[in-house]
Structure 1
Amino acid sequence: MTFSRFVAIGDSQTEGMCDGDDAAGYRGWADRLAEHLAADYPDLQYANLAIRGKNTRKTRDEQLERAIALEPDLVAAPLGMNDVIGRTDFAALHADLTYIYGRLAETGATVVISTFPDVARTIPFGRRIEDRLLWLNSAMHGFAEKHENFVLVDLYTAPALIDLRSWSRDRLHASPSGHERFAAGAAYALGLPGSTPDWGYPLVPDGHPNPLIRTLRDASWLVEFFTPWFIRKVRGRSLGDGRSPKRPELTPVIPPGVAAD
């Protein structure tokens, strides 16, 4: 299996939020995977159409056909987490995922999808959406079984991703370490040279967490991150409003540490 045209679609995780910033640019798991691929396929071209805040319907309407037009042989499309958090209707979500993944399957490209980490272990209100998350993860397993060209990265069973060190301060986006874990998981699922099965192993313990400190941090998180998100949702706004993809066209991948000609 070789790859020459890699296209990523989706939301903030695939855009790379919290692995970089608006000034320096965002990297993220998909960029990291592209860099891994480029080490084996130097002619690899890569585009990333993902934009923060996009749900599955908006990805379908705004990104899908644009991605297919780039004629990729590899697509990254882990979708649905914004719908779970935003409490989108299950039937509508499943219909949108079925359409998106059906169209991608028709292209013959290898498609990377994923389950999602156990947020009940990382964010204060996680248990309120746990049933929805489990539904989505079950659906992802179903799509991977249905389409022979799909590759599933099982983030839900990775112990490293219930460690808060794998998450940024907002706990909704991976830290650079978490993005690297996701990329390593995708590389292993694709069978890339140099990939290993230990990508999701637990992090080295950093002492015994203090329950009081965790409670205080949870309270601070609710004020600093959850409240602004809830206000935006009530107002029908998104962090992605008015934004364009960071990498809209297929261009060569330059691995870190390698100077451009």
Structure 2
Amino acid sequence: MASQRSAGSARWDSFVALGDSFTEGLDDPRPDGAFRGWADRLAEHLAADNPNLSYANLAVRGKLIRQIVDDQVPQAVELKPGLVSFTAGGNDIIRPGSDPDTVAQLFESAVAELRAAGIDVLIGTGFDTTETPVLRHVRGKVGTYNSHLRSIADRYGCYVLDLWSMRVLRDSRAWSGDRLHLSADGHRRVALRACEALGVETGEDWREPWPDAAETSWRTQRAEDIKWAREYLAPWIGRRLRGVSSGDGRGPKRPQLEKLTAAK
């Protein structure tokens, strides 16, 4: 089903975010320890333009695309929002032997269901992993997957949050200590990029250059790499080997459409 999206700066009364840890908001903590993330930040921008906006975030860390399509998409359709953000497939793509063509087919089935329900959809592409040590080897698969996502967006009239082209995210300061999830400022910039894709004015620019950073010695970099491998890489590999997900037993942080409280 092909459908044209609305032109210009659109407004929605309700917004639901779907996905995994990226959309749940790791690692962008609020003062109370709960995660904020780019989708919450986008909702805050939308609410600044429409104070009556209601928002739900169904994303759960570690989820694969089949789980998101089977669990989160039907919930989103039932909530009947005006806008859904849909970023999924990253946890599949990084797994050995995964096929981006198959992942894209599942992604398209979800988009078709959402658009058939009359919901506007914001698709998120994959990041360019060229500067990410643990994910550099999957860059070609991500590129193939992104080509599918672009075609899906064209066929179904979706908005596109183009993460691949965000060169500003190649700076290490855009990423948290685990080198797999965005930092608070990385999430802030992605939310601004999403606003741009949706035609929502913010008065801020996600392209703003990073401040000059002090040089780090080889010895310091080596110590940081060892610390990262011990604290993050080894546990991540261990979970993969045991077939355990960081999202096992977790539910969504914001399962129902609710109006936002004042942004913190």
Q: Do both share a fold (TM > 0.5)? A: yes
Q: Does the CA contact (< 8 Å) of 2:101 and 2:148 recur in 1?
A: no
Q: Are residues 45 and 92 of structure 1, via their aligned partners in 2, closer, same or farther at CA, if it must alter by over 3 Å?
A: same
Q: CA deviation at 1:23?
A: 5.5
Unaligned 5+ segments in structure 2 are 1-9
Identity among equivalent positions (%) equals: 39
Unaligned 5+ segments in structure 1 are none
Q: Does the CA contact (< 8 Å) of 2:189 and 2:206 recur in 1?
A: yes
Aligned length: 254
CA distance in 2: counterparts of 1:237 and 1:21, whole angstroms: 27
**Equivalent of 2:189, from 181, 192, 216?**
181
Q: What is aligned with 1:248?
A: 255
Q: Are residues 218 and 137 of structure 1, via their aligned partners in 2, closer, same or farther at CA, if it must alter by over 3 Å?
A: farther
Residue 179 of structure 1 aligns with an amino acid whose one-letter code is: H
**Equivalent of 1:75, from 73, 84, 91?**
84
Matched, 1:32 2:41: yes
CA distance in 2: counterparts of 1:223 and 1:138, whole angstroms: 35
**Equivalent of 1:206, from 208, 213, 227?**
213
Q: What is aligned with 2:236?
A: 229
**Equivalent of 1:41, from 50, 57, 62?**
50
Q: CA deviation at 1:120?
A: 2.3
Q: CA deviation at 1:125?
A: 2.9
Matched, 1:95 2:102: no
Q: Report the 3-state secondary structure (helix = DSSP H, G, I; strand = E; otherwise coil) of the residue aligned with 1:119.
A: coil
CA distance in 2: counterparts of 1:225 and 1:112, whole angstroms: 31
Q: Are residues 211 and 131 of structure 1, via their aligned partners in 2, closer, same or farther at CA, if it must alter by over 3 Å?
A: farther
After superposition, give the CA deviation of every residue in 1:21-55 in whole Å (9 maximum; x if it has no partner): 79631111100000110011111010000000001
Q: CA deviation at 1:69?
A: 0.4
CA distance in 1: counterparts of 2:262 and 2:105, whole angstroms: 37
Q: Does the CA contact (< 8 Å) of 2:100 and 2:142 recur in 1?
A: no
Residue 112 of structure 1 aligns with an amino acid whose one-letter code is: L
Q: Are residues 210 and 102 of structure 1, via their aligned partners in 2, closer, same or farther at CA, if it must alter by over 3 Å?
A: farther
Q: Are residues 152 and 74 of structure 1, via their aligned partners in 2, closer, same or farther at CA, if it must alter by over 3 Å?
A: same
**Equivalent of 2:74, from 32, 47, 65?**
65
Q: Report the 3-state secondary structure (helix = DSSP H, G, I; strand = E; otherwise coil) of the residue aligned with 1:47.
A: strand
Q: What TM-score, normalized to structure 2?
A: 0.90
Q: What is aligned with 1:18?
A: 27
CA distance in 2: counterparts of 1:157 and 1:60, whole angstroms: 26
CA distance in 1: counterparts of 2:170 and 2:161, whole angstroms: 15
Matched, 1:239 2:249: no
Q: What is aligned with 2:128?
A: 118
